[in-house]
Structure 1
Amino acid sequence: MGKKISIEGMSCEHCVAHVKEALEGIGAEKIDVNLKRKSAFISNNITDEKIKTAIEDAGYEVTNIEEASEQGGSKLKGLFKKITG
């Protein structure tokens, strides 16, 4: 279980690196920041407030944080893989 974070304000790969660095600073693991999707995924469960503070301190806006079972997927998508795979 992890978290998907929607982020506004990223415009280049430097921004991606800056967000990743901010998340590493709070102990996030298996971080994937996606510029096109304006989002990040972390595999561990860090409090929403800690995530929001770190990203906003880095100069970006967090618009949503939600539970996610896998990168880019939902709980239902993960269940589908278990049934078919």
Structure 2
Amino acid sequence: MSTYKVSGMTCGGCAGKVKDEIGKVAGVSSVAVELATGQVTVTSDGPLDDAEIRNAVEEIGYEVVGG
């Protein structure tokens, strides 16, 4: 399980887009988004490539901050 902080999410639709896009990354089994804090928790079947998660988030116009 990995946790990321995503900036730019302002509504449930934004959170849904982030969840859907990260869910497409190979190996991801579930994604939970906490809109109020920007925290995104990703569960996977194996090790995650942080660069792939960042790319997925940036592709739809948001940003992974920190870490």
TM (norm. structure 1) is 0.70
Q: Unpaired segments of 5 or more residues in structure 2? A: none
What displacement does 1:64 show?
2.9
Q: Unpaired segments of 5 or more residues in structure 1? A: 66-85
Matches within 5 A, 1:22-61: 22-27=21-26, 28-44=28-44, 45-61=47-63
Give me the identity figure in percent.
25
Q: Read off the aligned partner of 2:29 and give its amino acid letter.
A: E
Q: Distance in 1 between matches of 2:65 and 2:48?
A: 17
The structure with more helix, counted as a fraction of residues: 1
The structure with more strand, counted as a fraction of residues: 2
**Cα RMSD, aligned residues only:** 1.1
1:50-84 C-alpha deviation (Å, 9 max, x unpaired): 0000000011010034xxxxxxxxxxxxxxxxxxx
Q: Read off the aligned partner of 1:24 and give its amino acid letter.
A: G
TM (norm. structure 2) is 0.87
- After TM superposition, the runs of 4+ consecutive aligned structure 1 residues lying more than 6 A away are none
Q: Point out the structure with max Rg over C-alpha.
A: 1
